[in-house]
Amino acid sequence: MFTVYFPLLMLLGAVLLFVVATMALTHLVGPKRASVHKHEAFECGIPSQGDARTPFSVQYFVIAILFVLFDVEIIFLYPWAMEFRSLGWTGFFEVALFTSVVCLGFFYIYRHRLFSFKK
Amino acid sequence: MFDFFFIIEKLILISAVLGITLFIAAYSTLAERKLAAFFQDRIGPDRAGPFGLLQPLADGLKFLFKEAIIPAKADRFLFVLGPSLSMLAACMACAVIPWGPDLMLFGRTVALQITDLSVGLLYLFGLVSFGVYGVMIGGWASNNKYSLLSTIRASSQMISYELAMGLSLIALVLTTGTLSIREIVLGQPGWHWNILAQPLGFMIFIVCAFAETNRVPFDLPECETELVGGYHTEYSGMQLGFYLFAEYINMFISSAVMTCLYFGGFQMPFIASLGLPQNVVALFGVVFFFVKILMFLFLFIWIRWTLPRFRYDQLMRLGWTGLIPLAIINLLATAVFQLCN
């Protein structure tokens, strides 16, 4: 455990040090000149209108939900892939059954045009 | 067990790997500009040093000495956290890459890999997901409508292509039987590269790698014709530098991963029959590994200056209705093929 995970912690430490040191250094050596217009949100040169904390298309949210669903299903397949040889054809048919249920759900979503971003 | 030499060895290895990663990422920015110039019949940067070789250094120093502007309406903490997380995720991925065969130094066996995780593939998969946070947090914290649009585009693009990537990797696990990247590389000696067993899986993986690194033709998050600059519109100074740099590190790491998974990593054909000492074989392996990585980096750059970018609905259609069904078919076909043998 030690020899496997300790180097990972060391790398995390080294990378954190690099990131924090660079951010601190650029904060120290860079100039700081405040101005009202410079600190406005950039909108192609015209005065910025309102705030960006606005609602956006629900389609992106649907994609995020679908991602969670399908990603969990993919993670379920990894243990099978590791024990693939010992499980043999029985394991394969069980996974094929599982995958066909997933595909049915996939087809249902496809027919409801949830992947189609075209209006 | 506290082993002093082990700590020293790993410290040297970590500094070397981080140094080389940052160096190659820096010089691939120069390579990108030089090659772009070549493709467009220009000269490219040639002012800083001979043939512009000091250009990455000049760019880095300039990023460092510029003001890091934080917009008045932005969330200050998250605004700085965004690029830092992007950089962190990009740099952490080099941990599980085996850079070469074992070296024998001072009677010790030195593995040229920071750590050989038994779940290396899942670790990489996790870091890919983690990288989305950097983009999402930074773009949202900017409080700019263009950054927000770009951020939600980027995150839905990345999560969509992650699915096909995960599925194509399962097919690879079926043929190799392990999740450790070192064992995957050791399982393809000589010319027995995994690309020969998994051609379709590799095609799916490389398309997803382009989408995950936001490279052309999938660079919609940075679509400057629609979104000003993309998710980093409000960024300046080193914070912008981190975002741009993280992209090149991701390119380098994904080239290394593709080489390891499908092109035999540090395995060199015919080297075993020459009867060379182990350390010489190891050095040849490292050089050959880097040659393969550089070819992939060239491919990334070549495609960027050759293809136009997709429209957003085309991108989503390709990811969900093209690659995912293809990856499922590839997975089941691989399983049947493996069981029949």
Note the pLDDT tens digit of each residue in B219-263.
877 777 777 778 888 888 888 899 889 999 999 999 999 999 998
**Chain A neighbors of B147, CB-CB under 8 A:** 52
In what helix (H) or strand (E) does residue B102 lie, and over which residues does it extend?
Answer: strand B100-105
Q: For a pLDDT cut of 70, what percent of chain B falls above it? A: 99
- Model confidence at B1, pLDDT cuts 50, 70, 90, reads low
What is the arithmetic mean of pLDDT over B43-50?
85
What is the arithmetic mean of pLDDT over B75-100?
90
Q: Is the CATH code 1.20.58 the one for domain A2-111?
A: yes
- Model confidence at B297, pLDDT cuts 50, 70, 90, reads very high
Q: So what's the pLDDT on residue B258?
A: 92
Q: Which residue of A has its CA nearest to B88?
A: A15
Q: So what's the pLDDT on residue B2?
A: 61
**Chain A neighbors of B149, CB-CB under 8 A:** 56
Contact status, residue B66 vs residue B60, Cβ threshold 8 Å: no
* Cβ–Cβ contact A76 with B under 8 A: no
pLDDT of B324 > 70? The answer is yes
Report pTM: 0.91
Contacts with B112 (C-beta within 8 Å, 6 or more apart), sequence order: B13, B98, B99, B100, B101, B102, B103, B282, B286
pLDDT of A118 > 70? The answer is no
Signed CA dihedral, B175, B177, B182, B187: sign only: negative
What is the arithmetic mean of pLDDT over B49-68?
88
What is the arithmetic mean of pLDDT over B269-297?
85
Q: For a pLDDT cut of 90, what percent of chain B falls above it? A: 30
Q: So what's the pLDDT on residue B249?
A: 93
The C-alpha of B43 sits at a distance from chain A's nearest C-alpha, in angstroms, of 31
* Cβ–Cβ contact A56 with B under 8 A: yes
Q: So what's the pLDDT on residue A114?
A: 74
Write out residues 100-139 of B within 8 Å (CB-CB) of A.
Answer: 114-118, 122
> Do A115 and B321 make contact, defined as CB atoms within 8 angstroms?
yes
Q: Rounded distance, CA B251 to CA A15, Å?
A: 18
Q: Is B77 exposed, middle or buried (0-12, 13-18, 19+ CB in 10 A)?
A: exposed
> Do B159 and A110 make contact, defined as CB atoms within 8 angstroms?
no
Note the pLDDT tens digit of each residue in A28-66.
888 888 888 777 777 777 777 778 788 888 888 888 888
Give the DSSP per-residue string, B259-315. Answer: HHHHS-TT--TTGGGGT--HHHHHHHHHHHHHHHHHHHHHHHHHHHTTPPPPPHHHH
Among A6, A16, A23, pick the best mutation site for testing chain B contact (most B Cβ within 10 A). Answer: A23
Q: Rounded distance, CA B268 to CA B287, Å?
A: 10
Residue B112 tokens, joined: 């040229």
Q: So what's the pLDDT on residue B102?
A: 83
Contacts with B27 (C-beta within 8 Å, 6 or more apart), sequence order: B56
Q: Rounded distance, CA B263 to CA B193, Å?
A: 5
**Strands B100-105 and B108-112, bridge-based pairing:** antiparallel
Q: Rounded distance, CA B241 to CA B66, Å?
A: 10
